[in-house]
């Protein structure tokens, strides 16, 4: 199993870090966790093509986790890609219909591409056949507690506190072969996340706040610090920990060292702050 970090940032505009996106390669599968703004370009930079993505899994539907969804689906369709399965919390199906349905955001674009003579001729010249079908991602809405079994791997979702009640927010655990990858989404510390992360070969956890940094009394309990995340990871036997969802000010001189120092006080395993295009093989 190989993980490539495609987006380790936040909604804040930042060239160094795209919004959330993480690619897992396992066997012939290309499983993309979240697809925030900038992830599409990072995918290309990492040497991958959108039409080769086999699965897309959303932790939740905050914009910074799904802004490039439409671009990925449209580009994969235009390149006659492999069938794309999309797993995400409700209203994943409604959003997909609102984008790619007959009356959706891209309805007129798709009518133009599939029905006008010049576009049809270009499509034929590119090796396509007529009639040209519309994009048809297979959407499966997942709910807290669900387990998805695909050939060669299993995905478990639990609800994590983040942006309820507006959004269903999930933490995710991928088991493939004898390896476990756990992804927090944007989780507050909770028992569900501990269960997901138990004995994980890698825990990828969001980190929106440094130790000693106060954002707002309502937000601080929802945004665990490196020290808090690392203590949880250590308690449940995580082997490797990567911190992600990093804000621009957290990259200022000295801050990484402080974040890692706070985490190392309570975590014995391999530890780092994720960077776009970094890779880890499990
Ligand atoms: Zn979020």
**Residue-wise pLDDT tens digits, 58-116:** 999 999 999 999 999 999 999 998 999 999 999 999 999 999 999 999 999 999 999 99
Within 10 Å of residue 215's Cβ, how many Cβ atoms?
13
Longest dimension (CA), the chain: 66
Task: Supply the pLDDT for residue 81.
Answer: 87
- For residue 111, the CA-to-ligand 1 centroid distance in Å is 34
Please answer whether residues 153 and 174 qualify as being in contact, where contact means their C-beta atoms are separated by less than 8 angstroms: yes
Q: Is the pLDDT of residue 207 over 90?
A: yes
**Residue-wise pLDDT tens digits, 155-199:** 999 999 999 999 999 999 999 999 999 999 999 999 999 999 999
Taking residues 238-244, what's their average pLDDT?
Answer: 98
Distance CA 240, CA 225 (A): 17
- For residue 60, the CA-to-ligand 1 centroid distance in Å is 7
Taking residues 262-267, what's their average pLDDT?
Answer: 98
Distance CA 55, CA 200 (A): 21
Domains and CATH numbers, the chain: 2-281 (3.60.15.10)
Q: Is the pLDDT of residue 5 over 90?
A: yes
Both tokens assigned to 155: 């995905």
Please answer whether residues 1 and 25 qualify as being in contact, where contact means their C-beta atoms are separated by less than 8 angstroms: yes
DSSP classification of residue 134 = P
- For residue 47, the CA-to-ligand 1 centroid distance in Å is 27
- For residue 65, the CA-to-ligand 1 centroid distance in Å is 7
* 3-state secondary structure labels for all residues of 101-126: CCCCCCHHHHHHHHHCHHHHHHHHHC
Taking residues 216-242, what's their average pLDDT?
Answer: 97
- Name, in order, each residue with C-beta under 8 angstroms of 266's C-beta and a sequence gap of 6 or more: 227, 230, 231, 234
- For residue 272, the CA-to-ligand 1 centroid distance in Å is 21
- For residue 110, the CA-to-ligand 1 centroid distance in Å is 30
**Residue-wise pLDDT tens digits, 24-54:** 999 999 999 999 999 999 999 999 999 999 9
- For residue 185, the CA-to-ligand 1 centroid distance in Å is 7
- For residue 41, the CA-to-ligand 1 centroid distance in Å is 21
Q: Is the pLDDT of residue 14 over 90?
A: yes
Mean pLDDT, all residues of the chain: 97
The closest of 63, 78, 85 to 10, measured between CA atoms, is 63
Full-model pTM: 0.97
- For residue 250, the CA-to-ligand 1 centroid distance in Å is 18
């Amino acid at each position: 199993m190989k993980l490539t970090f495609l987006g380790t940032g936040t909604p804040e505009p930042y060239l160094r870090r795209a919004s959330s996106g993480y690619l897992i390669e396992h066997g012939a599968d290309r499983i993309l966790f979240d697809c925030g703004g900038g992830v599409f370009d990072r995918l290309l930079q990492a040497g991958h093509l959108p039409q080769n993505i086999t699965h897309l899994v959303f932790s939740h539907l905050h914009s910074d986790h799904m802004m490039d969804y439409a671009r990925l689906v449209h580009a994969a369709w235009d390149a006659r890609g492999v069938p794309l399965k999309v797993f995400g919390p409700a209203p994943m199906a409604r959003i997909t219909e609102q984008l790619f349905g007959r009356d959706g955001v891209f309805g007129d674009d798709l009518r133009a591409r599939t029905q006008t003579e010049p576009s049809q001729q270009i499509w034929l010249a590119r090796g396509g056949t007529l009639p040209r079908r519309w994009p048809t991602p297979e959407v499966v809405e997942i709910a807290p507690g669900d387990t998805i079994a695909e050939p060669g791997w299993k995905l478990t979702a639990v609800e994590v506190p983040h942006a309820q009640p507006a959004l269903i927010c999930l933490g995710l655990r991928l088991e493939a072969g004898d390896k476990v990858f756990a992804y927090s989404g944007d989780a507050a510390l909770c028992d569900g996340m501990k269960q997901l992360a138990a004995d994980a070969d890698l825990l990828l956890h969001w980190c929106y706040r440094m130790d000693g940094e106060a954002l707002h009394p309502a937000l601080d309990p929802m945004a665990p610090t490196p020290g808090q995340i690392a203590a949880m990871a250590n308690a449940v036997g995580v082997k490797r920990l990567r911190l992600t969802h990093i804000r621009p000010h957290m990259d200022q001189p000295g801050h990484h060292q402080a974040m890692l120092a706070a985490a190392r006080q309570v975590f014995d395993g391999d530890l780092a702050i994720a960077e776009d295009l970094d890779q880890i093989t499990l």
